[in-house]
Structure 1
Amino acid sequence: MAHFTFVSLISLSLLVGQAIAQQDAVANPKAEKLDCLEMMNALRTAAGLDKFKDASKVTQVLPAYGNAAQRDVEVAAETLWKNEICPKVTGAGSSTTGEAAKLTGTYAYYPVADDKKDCNAAVEYWKGGFSLFNNEIPPTYESANNPSVYSDRAVSFVALYNPQPEPVVSCVFLQCPPPSDTTPGDGRRLSSASTTVDAIICLTNPAALNASAAPFKEDEWNKIVQAISGNSGGASSVGPSVALVSAVAISAFALF
């Protein structure tokens, strides 16, 4: 009997440990490094743009995050993802930007609905932002949603086709715990298991969007148009991509 009790206690301990681990996974965000270079560069080279390389500077790298005990060097990953980014991704309310302000560059954001770390889907979604500019060269940028065309999707498009020299990129697959009031149809992208709100986020550098400046020169834009639509001029008949049309709508916001 004593032996049986001992074994039972061990089993109970393991079950409790698993439950705690599962609860921690739901309560805390997870950011996993993701390599989208091949897919992003395929579109960039078609438009005559330099290939992205992996970012290495601390201020240009999205930090991976898996548990609250990890050690941070310059950017506090737990604060960045849990307190600053996930509240915006999930629509859970206000957030701070202290750690995000330490990072530089222009972000591309893709809301994931199927738990898949699918760079192809993300890149197609960002590419679909092309249609938001209504066949016109993107206007002078001031800030997020100013002019109004610079929604989250439009900014992601510019980040993908970042024309700056010596471009670099850092990507993560982010899983955020959902807010307690999340309900179906509210615009947030819950995973299939409804335990996390997932996204693919890439940070491109140097910054593609700067206040009081247009992101593209006319010749750069014409090459992008030609690569996407096959037209040599500045106009295009390209409509929204499949990913853009099928994705659940999310309100535009300044991600960082």
Structure 2
Amino acid sequence: MTNNLPERQPRSNALLQLSGLSKHYVRGGWWRNRVSVAAVNGVDFGIPIGQTLALIGASGSGKSTVARCVTRLERPDGGQIWIRGSDIAQLGASELLPLRSKVQMVFQDAATAMNPRFSAAHVIEEPLLIQGRGRSERREVAERMMKEVSLSPEWLNRPIMDFSGGQRQRLAIARALSLKPELLVLDEALSGLDLSTQAQVANLLLDLQQAHSLTYLLISHDLTMVSRMAQTIAVMSAGRIVEIGPTAQLMAEARHPEARKLLEAARTAERGFAFAAGAGS
């Protein structure tokens, strides 16, 4: 499936720019008609260098498909994905190799994204090994990354299953940063952590962003976290961006029904949490 839209040039200050991004999946099988379903349909947005855009929406709205297309874990059917002015949407495997050092992804469940038999060193060094880096360089980077994410380098030889959930998420961030990327795609990277650990990891991400001028694409349903981390919010529904704007403005006066529904659900959850906390005190 192709996109017949004219190719658009990226904004000069955007590290990531999507233009008409589309991705379809075929549903069905031998027992029923096979149909093409648009998971992502004509998505446009850009993220300036050093900033964060949060992509929010209900489950199945297409957020994670956008993330997988941006990192080229999925090949889009149409549109452009501009990274630093280069369209990477249809590049082949060998052409994508240099991209891997520029764009990294941090997944929701660090434990399932790592081999449970690996040590912390193996987890962090694996991307460097794939890139052909030498042993001494790999270990030097691993030690530095452990310090960056506030973990002791003395723990490098520990099996990852000996780390807590929050510590494993820090390892996932260290692994992602080992190749010195410019863009981190955070796909529900703070979900599943308790509130205290979420806050600690969010603060770590903000510190790392400031220290290294990182750009973040944040996939999340947690609007409290989004309001802390993102300058811009884009709301997805049925594969499309239905509203986009500055975080404070959208949080205060969302216009699209889907955006208002997400905001009201978040406020209801916050009121319920506050009530439960008060009842338990």
Decide: shared fold, TM above 0.5: no
Give the number of the structure whose residues are more often strand, by fraction: 2
- Greater relative contact order (CA < 8 Å, ≥ 6 in sequence): 1
Q: Larger C-alpha radius of gyration, 1 or 2?
A: 1
The two structures have a TM-score, normalised by structure 2, of: 0.23
TM-score, normalization by structure 1: 0.25
